[in-house]
Structure 1
Amino acid sequence: MDLEEEHEQNPENPEEIVIDSDSEDSIEAVFPISEIQAHSDSVCSVAFHPISSDIYASGGIDDIAYLYTQNEGKELTGHTDSIIAVSFSNCGEFLAVASMDGTITIWNAQNGENIAKYEGPTEEILSISWHPRLPSLCALSNDLSLWVWHIKKNSPVAVIYGHPLSIAKFGPAGRYIYAGGKDGSIKVWDMKSEGFENAPPICTILGKAIHNEEVISIDMHNGGIIVSGSKDGCIGLTNFNSKKIITKIKVCEESIESVEFCKEMMWFLVASMSGELRIYECDSLNTRCTIQVGMGIVKAIWVGFDIYVGGLEGLLEHYNGRTGERVRKFSGTKETILDFDVKQ
């Protein structure tokens, strides 16, 4: 990624495509092939197994998670508050279930046997992230603590205290943990640094430098660039190697719910509660495409060159990431889509 370290203003792109998805009337409508009524209340999180399309998981407000094999669900209990995240390890061996009760349970992803229960945080878990290669999990709690566990050890390998963070993830190579703050800050830790959990972050972009409000979406490119989105309607790009801000862009007046780099091209997407989906070119920072989805977007992800978005009033749609054209609309509910996953 060849970006200048500082970029004051995003220039207008004369070739930008603007699409109003409501104007398209020839798209394919897709209806559910099956419906599973397992939970007694709202489902907060879902995930496909990274290898087997017959295995998936869900977690809900009813304090229960389910592991499904060929649509047959096994109840995973042990939590006393809502399940905020279910996530399979990248190797496919483990399933992590995170709860607002401050605990995380680890399960065998094939047979649903309980492997471990991690305790320590005194408040709810805000986010979890698996290492891209190792059976290691990082978890962020609302009590200002960030935990790293190795599944084959009974105690955490690192705990970082005292940072008011809202979201934290492993970097694409697994060496770094990057995070967004409730104060609008961006922070990065190097796990290869001895005693990193007791040392200051290797990169800190203070709140107000980019974001005036909480960071709620963040992604890292393997070239050392971080894109972040905030409740203030702004996105920021940071080069954590040089510890410099590349740019800050005011996108809208609503919160930026999703930012994500495309793995196929040097693009990234930005999705907001305003109902707007944008695709940016990384090098020029030009807006490649702007799509008016029409409903507030809760989540947007790349799947190859395709983009899937979910949001308010049952919004669940598939777009061509190259052209911005809507490909399919998934029907089945008028309720807000809290989470979704796509299996390639």
Structure 2
Amino acid sequence: MSVILATAGYDHKIKFWEAPSGICSRTLRYPDSQVNCLEITPDKKFLAAAGNPHVRLFEINSSNHNPLLACEGHTSSVTGLGFQREGRWMYTSSEDGTLKIWDLRSPGYQRSFTAPNNCPINSVALHPNQAELVSGDNNGTVRVWDLGTSQCVKELVPDPDVPIRSVSVGDDGRHLVAASQNAEVFVWNAPGRNGQGVGTGGGGDYEPVVNFFAHEGGYCIKAKLSPDCKTLVTTGSDKTARLWDTNTWGMSRLMSSHQQWVWDAVYSADSSYLVTASSDHSARLWSLRTGDVVRQYNGHQNAVTAVALNDCT
């Protein structure tokens, strides 16, 4: 399959879609809880689905509807997950206050990092240098964790006591972005901006670039930099997804077709399309050139809270 598109949410179902036609090609049952997040391995062989408190790994090109692997170790909702660039390991964040590293050949985690006072962690991102994790937590703190030393090497507190809902690091290593619960977005220039990374040289200094309110009067749920690092997408409780130009940090596109909260968004590999997931039981494929909805994916019986896309060639 050249394009893998999957959605999941509160109806305990994971759906795979034929992206061009909008036809659901396969449905899996996620028995434990709602699905909080989805991620596809770089080789397109597996889909990881995270809920409360488990992470389950499913084979994508298989008739087996049961998970291939259940990753046990978190004690509360898993809020974020992703894979190392070559798919050698997986990382997760959780409301139990920990980040964990998993070898997919084993159901148990290999390493764990704990936030002070087990503060719930709401989001995690892997820096493109593959050597640091960035987390955002309920205390309003962004932390950079060095995987080599297992230490937190930097703490950023843009707005104390306002939870950080989402963090993102550009593929070029230039910007670190955090979005708070009150919809304020904070942007820093990261040290080592040649792509070598956040944390280079003992954590380095972060230069604040800008902060702005992305969804006035609402909550910001997700903020994610595009693969080409030219735009940032934010999603919110105001039923919209918004696109921001990373040169000016002004809004370049308002996407307002959803009828309820927009929970998640994912870019195509060439940054020209976006898929959003909403409480209105649907996902939508947008052309970022025109701002139009290209395709709508219907079939869930409850809120769609997670979407994953891998269209890399």
Aligned residue for 2:80? 85
TM-score by length of 1: 0.65
Alpha-carbon distance in 1 for matches of 2:99, 2:179: 21
**Are the equivalent residues in 2 in contact too, given 1:175–1:192 (CA < 8 A)?**
no
| Alignment of 1:310 onto 2:301 | no
Q: Which of 240, 257, 273 is the aligned partner of 1:293?
A: 257
| C-alpha contact 2:170 2:229 (8 A) present in aligned 1 | no
Kept in 2, the 8 Å contact 1:121–1:141? The answer is no
Separation in 2, partners of 1:287, 1:158? 32
The amino acid of 1:32's aligned partner reads C
The 3 A distance-change label for structure 1 pair 260 and 137 is closer
Partners of 2:223 and 2:233 within 8 A in 1: yes
Give the equivalent residue in structure 2 for 1:117.
112
Give, in whole Å, the separation in 2 of the partners of 1:269 and 1:148.
22
User: What is the CA–CA distance in structure 2 between the aligned matches of 1:149 and 1:257, rounded to whole Å?
Assistant: 23
Per the TM alignment, residue 156 of structure 1 is displaced from its structure 2 partner at its CA by: 1.2
Return the TM-score normalized by structure 2. 0.71
Q: Counterpart of 1:140 in 2: which secondary structure? A: strand
Shift of 1:336: 1.1
Unaligned runs of 5+ in 2: 1-18, 192-197
Query: Quick one: structure 1 residues 162 and 112, their matched pair in 2 at CA, closer, same or farther if it must change by over 3 Å?
Result: same
Deviations, residues 214-264 of structure 1 (Å, cap 9, x unaligned) = xxxxxxxxxxxxxxx24xx2xxxxxxxxxxxxxxxxxxx544545555556
Indicate the SS of the match to 1:340.
strand
Of structures 1 and 2, the larger Rg is shown by: 1
SS at 2:27 equivalent: coil
Q: Is the 8 A contact 1:89 1:135 kept in 2?
A: no
Q: CA RMSD in A?
A: 3.6
CA distance in 1 between counterparts of 2:225 and 2:180 reads 20
Say if 2:242 is the partner of 1:275. Answer: no
Q: Distance in 2 between matches of 1:105 and 1:181?
A: 23
Choose from 48, 65, 84 the match for 2:55.
65
Closer, same or farther: CA 120–287 of 1 in aligned 2, 3 Å:
closer
C-alpha deviations, 1:121-146, integer Å up to 9, x for none? 32111211101132421223324554
Aligned residues: 272
Alpha-carbon separation, structure 1, partners of 2:38 and 2:48: 6
- Identity fraction in percent: 15
Sort the Cα spacing of 1:179 and 1:159 in 2 relative to 1 into closer, same or farther, 3 A: same
Please say if residues 313 and 334 of structure 1, whose CA atoms lie closer than 8 Å, have aligned partners that are also in contact: no
- Indicate the larger mover: 182-191 or 283-292: 283-292
Which residue of structure 2 aligns with residue 323 of structure 1? 290
1:283 and 1:175 mapped to 2: Cα distance? 12
Deviation at 1:74, TM superposition (A): 1.0
